Amino acid sequence: MSGNRPSSRALLTWALIAFLLASGCSSGRSEGPGGAGEPSSGAVRRGEAAAPSSGSPFWVDPDSAAARQVEEYEAAGRAEDAKLLRRISERPAAIWPSGEDPVPDVARAVRGAAGEDRTVVLVAYNVPHRDCGRYSAGGAADGDAYRRWLDAFAGAVGDARAVVVLEPDAVPHLVDGCTAGTYAQERYRLLSEAVDRLKRQPRTKVYLDAGNPAWLKDPGKLVEPLRRAGIGRADGFALNVANFQTDEVVRAFGRELSGLLGGVRFVVDTSRNGAGPLPGGGEEAWCNPPGRALGIPPTLRTGDGLVDAYLWVKRPGESDGTCRGGPAAGTWWPEYALGLARGASSSSPAAPGV
């Protein structure tokens, strides 16, 4: 990641990307990031700027768990903790609709974003046999139930400006064999259908999850699976969802995968990668690792011609699962949130060119 300011041509390029996202034109982890494997090596840049990213085009949820925690800390006289958590509460993070009916969560987010003329970032995470029975196990009961769920999800988006990260882990778990081969054909079909259904919404951009470079180290193994999942009709792929790999490592992996796919664009989850992955790795290095930090705030100004956006797909402060003393996956954990906020250095650049 370069701290140099971009050229005039680069600025024009990113202005065009912002326009495409606003107009809905196509440019072409899961709460439990299972299978993350050993951390990648690479340069680490700590944290992100402390000031809110007021120029972000993405919607900030005013009723997030982080926002409510800030209010609780202020009421309890914990002013410094409240100030730290504003690094999370005042920045846009993706909405993960839960339960059998996604409409209430999606509709609330869409209304909020429309009222502020912002783009809403959503995660569709309900594919059958989700997360191989691990911390975030669950998903729709069967293929037909998933189709109904996804149709309701897409219908609730309507004509709003939206970015959808489609099914974190779903393709990588097929590649690494964690998801049984007997489910492969159905999953590819469901993902491909989901891309088509979401793209019927006029201003929705869709990015298929492609794991992270510490999990599937050879991007070539993702090419055919992503094609079967509908990448050719999506807007691109998403990397590093709910993981901690550095921007440099993720971008290098993404550029290689993009080249193998014919120039497909991608987005990167920077929510918790400000300090990189846990040194030394280990089987569950991805699960609530200590000493991590917030990454670059969500932005379209990535400084990389193939990277559409840096996003906070994983909601910082929500647990990866019942490891290292954490609550159930997706549950707000204020102590961990404070750790991420403390780890973020106020002296680090917010993003290339910002």
8 A C-beta contact, residue 96 and residue 330: yes
> Would you say residue 43 has pLDDT above 50?
no
Binding residues: 96, 215, 243, 286, 314, 318
Q: Categorize the per-residue pLDDT at 14 as very low, low, confident or very high, splitting at 50, 70 and 90.
A: very low
Identify whether 196 is a catalytic site residue: no
8 A C-beta contact, residue 287 and residue 321: yes
Structure pTM? 0.85
Sheet strand arrangement including 236-239 = 120-124, 162-166, 204-209, 236-239, 266-269, 307-311
Catalytic pick from 235, 269, 304, 320? 320
Per-residue pLDDT reduced to its tens digit, 216-230 = 999 999 999 999 999
Per-residue pLDDT reduced to its tens digit, 147-162 = 999 999 999 999 999 9
Identify whether 247 is a catalytic site residue: no
What's residue 137's pLDDT? 80
Catalytic pick from 169, 235, 247, 308? 169
What's residue 39's pLDDT? 32
The 10 Å Cβ neighbour count of residue 72 is 13
8 A C-beta contact, residue 189 and residue 150: no
Give Cα separations from 23 to 7, 305, 307 (angstroms).
25, 19, 18
Per-residue pLDDT reduced to its tens digit, 132-149 = 867 888 899 999 999 999
State the Cα–Cα distance between residues 319 and 337, nearest whole angstrom: 9
Binding residues for substrate: 96, 215, 243, 286, 314, 318
What's residue 278's pLDDT? 96
The 10 Å Cβ neighbour count of residue 137 is 14
Closest C-alpha among 343, 345, 337, 311 to residue 88: 337
Sign of the C-alpha dihedral computed for residues 198, 204, 210 and 211 taken in this order: negative
> Would you say residue 1 has pLDDT above 80?
no
Hey, what CATH class is 8-13+26-56+93-343 in?
A: alpha beta
Catalytic pick from 81, 131, 269, 308? 131
What's residue 138's pLDDT? 87
Give Cα separations from 10 to 6, 257, 304, 309 (angstroms).
6, 22, 9, 14
Average pLDDT of the chain to the nearest whole number: 86
Identify whether 320 is a catalytic site residue: yes
What's residue 175's pLDDT? 97
Per-residue pLDDT reduced to its tens digit, 73-106 = 999 999 999 999 999 999 999 999 989 999 999 9
Per-residue pLDDT reduced to its tens digit, 240-288 = 999 999 999 999 999 999 999 999 999 999 999 999 999 987 778 999 9
What's residue 315's pLDDT? 99
The 10 Å Cβ neighbour count of residue 77 is 9
Strand partners, 332: 318
